[in-house]
Amino acid sequence: MFIPLPSFRALKLSNYQNRTTAFALVAAFATAGYSLVDNRATQLMRGLTNDAGDTIASASEVALVYVALQSAFSVIWMITIVLSTQKQRTELSFLSRTQWRAALFTGALMLGTYSLVILSMAFVDNVSYVVAFRQLSIPLGVLFAVIGFGESLKGPKIIGVAITFIGLIAVALG
């Protein structure tokens, strides 16, 4: 809540009564929710056994299969939505001709990192550790914005990143 503020004077309830804040809250709850679903689904998959009682897949195999299935179904839904309007079909056609390399690279990175998240769930006692560790992207994103895009590093941003980082350490220490 502090990171996007230009100064602490902008810390007013009215600055948070907007769609951006609503979407950020929905994203936070959705991330927690789908992380719990992902964890439970992969727990069930890792528990599958053959007739002899041996597990049928390793944790890494489960992670890859889970991510592949989830991605396939996501593509089906996205294609259905994109193909539903002429404007979206035209934009898809344009982007597939001009931006396919960036899309392919981004998609590969997203699938790779998501596979690592799913795999890591097999090695923790509490999935909240994985969910918290994913939030390390916030301080890293701020760092990249400051270094790569020359964003200013003002008080609210520093405090916001510090609070996030302290929260990550608190979760790690239990």
pLDDT digits 0-9 by tens, 44-75 = 999 999 999 999 999 999 999 999 999 999 99
Q: How deeply is 38 buried, as exposed, middle or buried, from its count of CB atoms within 10 A (0-12, 13-18, 19+)?
A: buried
CA distances (Å), 88 to each of 32, 79, 94, 99, in order? 30, 10, 10, 15
Q: Could you tell me the pTM of the whole model?
A: 0.75
**Domain regions of the chain by residue span:** 8-124, 135-174
Q: Both tokens of residue 125?
A: 């006692």
Label residue 10 by pLDDT band (50, 70, 90): confident
Of 111, 108, 98, residue with least CA distance to 66: 111
Residue 55 pairs in a beta bridge with 49
